[in-house]
Amino acid sequence: MTEAERHTYDVVVVGAGGAGLRAAIEARAQGMRTAVICKSLFGKAHTVMAEGGIAASMGNVNAGDNWKVHFRDTMRGGKFLNNWRMAELHAQEAPDRVWELETWGALFDRTKEGRISQRNFGGHEYPRLAHVGDRTGLELIRTLQQKIVSLQQEDEREFGDFEARLKVFQECTVTRVLTEPGGGSPEGGPAAGASPGGGARVSGVFGYARESGRFFVVEAPAVVLATGGIGKSFKVTSNSWEYTGDGHALALLAGASLINMEFVQFHPTGMVWPPSVKGILVTESVRGDGGVLRNSENKRFMFDYVPDVFKNQYAQSEEEADGWYTDPEKHRRPPELLPRDEVARAINSEVKAGRGSPHGGVFLDVSTRMPAEEIKRRLPSMHHQFKELADVDITAEPMEVGPTCHYVMGGVDVEPDTAAARGVTGLYAAGEVAGGMHGSNRLGGNSLSDLLVFGRRAGLHAATYVTSLADARPSILPQQVDAAAAEALSPFHVPEADGAAGTLPENPYSVHQRLQQTMNDLVGIIRRAEEMGEALERLAKLRQEAVRAGVEGHRQFNPGWHLALDLRNMLLVSECVARAALERSESRGGHTRDDYPEMDRRWRRVNLVCDLAGTADAASGQISLTRRENPPIRPDLLALFEQGELLKYLTDEELAQ
Ligand code: FAD
């Protein structure tokens, strides 16, 4: 029988970024004994890296803003593929979540009148992003941590124990969400035949402490996944080491579905030089605050790339664009502030046409647009980042930038109001790991607000579910723990050489590199059918190699072992991305097909759903793909758009109605 530390809680939150912490605070506020588990140190989650701000229609800088305008912008940004109910809830609740942060101690930058300042960002009609310089994520996490500490202090006063109702397990990786046998398999694996909202029931999680390698089991009837994104499956990415798609894979393995996985956002502006820092983000606030993009001919090229659907909202000349910064009522927005997918594609085209910068990007310039002191005040991190990493002084010369894998719009298929994962009772997902909210393309700033709105909802509904159970809680069987432990230990037991084929164990780092190269080259920013077919073949081979990815040494801090386990997750999500991208024969948002360059209205109603195929054979695919109809948008929400605009997006049947 496996030796594993055992704990019992009401709600387990996997992930301590913005979504996880907000969910944990809510679950604890509802009286639940709540555990937070995170791979990194507490406070070091990816959310800390968020720079530009949090989108909320508070109307502090332009009183014309309100939730309906925010909803409209979000749907336009996502090219109408968004789950409209999530987009509605998000736009309505984001301002309250920002105010709430302020009451918990967040210190946002202010306007001259003393209100929370809001800045411009791509795709947002009005200045909407509340911010703290370019370190907004840090302030968000700091505030949520502070709130957690204050709740723990309350518990100490009431129970004499800081961790009586809220405990953080840091530097621990969850490798399985366990489900009740009968719904899920005894191994806690795929929940064969799990009905929507129903069959399998969550019973807890299995994982290991990264430092000691010791196993642990947490029994709990509700699990909130808040594990963030998948960027580490791509070679050039702005994402941190944690983004190995764990939550996406955990959900699939437990019997839930993923949707919209073909939509991966390539942020237009990552660093391109020097090679060691390629992909690190250059925040969109650089453009929001006046930065412009130029090619090697010094041309402000974005005017050539305004697509028809956005023609009415964006400036046609430099004069008009520059006028917008001081008088937005009388001018249209600069095309540098188009949604990210449009800007990323434009940069890609310029570089391909031979008009790129020396290191394969384009130029992003603030030095000629603002006094040096203002640049340092508004963009302190960017100034520091370029000086330290590339020896470039952005107050005196332009930056070189190019697209970088940044965000995944696809994720766990959830019920919009409750954040409950369809297919597995007791499983919830919030933040970047959840799908639907952003459709085919996320607007900048809409992630931090998403984390808070749906993090809170996930915590609330997990608590409601647990309360409804009374004492009838699912339990974990010893065989489930044994199976999860055997899986986790498998990299230590790869045979030295396979006699028949003479194959040697694989190095997990090499497998990871080949995976990243495959995704970057073949399922990257511009996609073609043959290349994605080749990617699927390579992924099949990589899956076999990953099974043989062996490690030496002990379980005590062993990064090679950690990576060998992460490979399972990255391979699962990469297959989802490649399969869905091959299936969707149109270009929309974060999915651009060279062979189908136009958006096709018939695809607006289609969500591609990935499930675990249930095959044990690593050579054939692990994922099954089905089409599901996107629910029709409520008429009062459709009425927020001009008829002419709807003609560009909606299907003929929808328009007829
Ligand atoms: P995260 O903050 O990444 O947290 C994930 C947590 O899950 C971590 O604690 C991690 O340790 C844990 N975890 C993962 N796997 C496991 C596992 N198996 N077991 C246990 N724990 C696990 N968005 C905006 O709205 N505005 C911005 O200005 C902005 N700027 C950005 C700048 C950069 C450089 C980047 C990369 C992104 C930016 N984004 C921004 C996007 C935004 O930061 C992320 O989408 C968001 O922070 C994701 O938050 P999350 O809570 O979902 O996940």
Residue 44 lies in a domain: yes
* Residue minimizing CA distance to atom 46 of ligand 1: 47
* CA–CA distance, 231 with 508 (Å, rounded to integer): 17
pLDDT top residue among 501 and 474: 474
* CA–CA distance, 448 with 379 (Å, rounded to integer): 19
Ligand 1 center–CA 276 separation, angstroms = 22
Residue 510 lies in a domain: no
Instruction: Say which of 340, 456, 543, 579 is annotated catalytic.
Output: 340
What is the per-residue pLDDT for 184? Answer: 40
Residue 613 lies in a domain: no
Query: Ligand 1 pocket test: which of 41, 47, 73, 248 has the largest number of ligand atoms within 8 Å of its C-beta?
Result: 47
Pairing, β 215-219 against β 200-209? antiparallel
- Shared-domain flag, residues 305 and 334: yes
Among 29, 86, 132, 193, CA closest to 451: 86
Residue 509 lies in a domain: no
What is the average per-residue pLDDT within 628-656? Answer: 92
| E-state strands within 338-482 | 362-365, 399-408, 411-412, 424-425, 427-429
Residue-wise pLDDT for 149-195, tens only, equals: 999 999 999 999 999 999 999 999 999 999 996 544 434 443 333 33
> Which secondary-structure segment (H or E) carries 218?
strand 215-219
* Residue minimizing CA distance to atom 53 of ligand 1: 228
What is the average per-residue pLDDT within 566-594? Answer: 97
Residue 72 lies in a domain: no
Q: Mention every residue, 6+ apart, whose C-beta is less than 8 A from residue 564.
A: 491, 508, 546, 549, 550, 551
What is the per-residue pLDDT for 194? Answer: 35
Residue-level length of the chain = 657
Where does a domain end: 373, 403, 433?
A: 403
- Shared-domain flag, residues 25 and 149: yes
User: Does a cis peptide bond (omega within 30 degrees of 0) precede residue 181?
Assistant: no
- Residue that is written with structure tokens 């605070």 in the block: 25
Q: Mention every residue, 6+ apart, whose C-beta is less than 8 A from residue 582.
A: 529, 532, 533, 536
What is the per-residue pLDDT for 655? Answer: 87
Is-contact 80 650, C-beta < 8 A?
yes
What is the average per-residue pLDDT within 628-635? Answer: 93
Residue 434 forms beta bridges with which residues? Answer: 412
- Shared-domain flag, residues 250 and 328: no
Residue 474 lies in a domain: yes
Residue-wise pLDDT for 65-118, tens only, equals: 999 999 999 999 999 999 999 999 999 999 999 999 999 999 999 999 999 999
In this predicted structure, the answer to whether residue 616 has a pLDDT above a threshold of 80 is no
Please, what sign has the CA dihedral across residues 388, 391, 395, 399? negative
* CA–CA distance, 506 with 58 (Å, rounded to integer): 53
Please provide the average confidence, as pLDDT, over all residues in the chain. 93
CATH number, domain at 282?
3.90.700.10
* Residue minimizing CA distance to atom 4 of ligand 1: 17
Q: What percent of the chain has pLDDT over 90?
A: 84
Cα angle 638, 644, 649; round to 5? 65
* CA–CA distance, 355 with 351 (Å, rounded to integer): 5
Q: What percent of the chain has pLDDT over 70?
A: 95
* Residue minimizing CA distance to atom 24 of ligand 1: 445
Q: Please tell me the total count of domains within the chain.
A: 2
Q: Is 473 a catalytic residue?
A: no
In this predicted structure, the answer to whether residue 41 has a pLDDT above a threshold of 60 is yes
Report residue 556's pLDDT band, with 50, 70 and 90 as the boundaries.
Answer: very high
Query: Ligand 1 pocket test: which of 227, 230, 404 has the largest number of ligand atoms within 8 Å of its C-beta?
Result: 227
In this predicted structure, the answer to whether residue 560 has a pLDDT above a threshold of 90 is yes
Q: How many CB atoms lie within 10 A of CB 160?
A: 8
Ligand 1 center–CA 432 separation, angstroms = 7
- Which residues have any ligand 1 atom within 6 Å of their CB? 14-20, 37-40, 45-47, 49-54, 136-137, 173-174, 226-228, 238-239, 242, 246, 281, 406-407, 431-433, 444-448, 451
Amino acid at 532: M
- Shared-domain flag, residues 251 and 291: no
Residue 158, helix vs strand vs coil = helix
Is-contact 426 201, C-beta < 8 A?
yes
Residue 281 forms beta bridges with which residues? Answer: 270
* CA–CA distance, 215 with 207 (Å, rounded to integer): 6
pLDDT top residue among 500 and 145: 145
Residue 303 lies in a domain: yes
Where does a domain end: 460, 480, 500?
A: 480
What is the per-residue pLDDT for 277? Answer: 87
- Shared-domain flag, residues 202 and 309: no
- Shared-domain flag, residues 292 and 388: yes
What is the per-residue pLDDT for 193? Answer: 33
What is the average per-residue pLDDT within 642-652? Answer: 91
| Residue 348, CA distances (Å) to 77, 357, 362, 401, 526 in order | 19, 12, 9, 11, 9
- Shared-domain flag, residues 377 and 399: yes
Residue 439 lies in a domain: yes
- Shared-domain flag, residues 362 and 228: no
| Residue 431, CA distances (Å) to 91, 227, 437 in order | 15, 8, 10
Spell out the alpha helix ranges (H) of 492-600: 508-522, 529-547, 559-583
- Shared-domain flag, residues 143 and 25: yes
Ligand 1 center–CA 240 separation, angstroms = 8
Domain range holding 297?
265-403
- Shared-domain flag, residues 275 and 140: no
- Shared-domain flag, residues 146 and 241: yes
What is the average per-residue pLDDT within 466-494? Answer: 94
Residue 365 forms beta bridges with which residues? Answer: 292
Is-contact 254 202, C-beta < 8 A?
yes
Ligand 1 center–CA 651 separation, angstroms = 34
* CA–CA distance, 316 with 297 (Å, rounded to integer): 19
* Residue minimizing CA distance to atom 39 of ligand 1: 50
pLDDT top residue among 524 and 503: 524
What is the average per-residue pLDDT within 593-608? Answer: 95
Report residue 619's pLDDT band, with 50, 70 and 90 as the boundaries.
Answer: low
Among 541, 623, 462, 650, CA closest to 81: 650
Where does a domain end: 403, 435, 454?
A: 403
Ligand 1 center–CA 17 separation, angstroms = 6
> Which secondary-structure segment (H or E) carries 250?
helix 246-254
Residue 310, helix vs strand vs coil = helix
Both tokens assigned to 595: 């062979």
CATH number, domain at 171?
3.50.50.60
**ipTM (interface predicted TM):** 0.99
Is-contact 523 577, C-beta < 8 A?
yes
End-to-end CA distance of the chain: 61
What is the per-residue pLDDT for 614? Answer: 74
Residue 287, helix vs strand vs coil = helix
Residue-wise pLDDT for 317-349, tens only, equals: 999 999 998 898 899 999 999 988 889 999 989
- Shared-domain flag, residues 195 and 247: yes
- Using the CB atoms, write b or e for 232-256: b if 16+ within 10 Å: bbbbbbbbbebbbbbbbbbbbbbbb
Among 15, 6, 18, 25, CA closest to 462: 25
Ligand 1 center–CA 167 separation, angstroms = 20
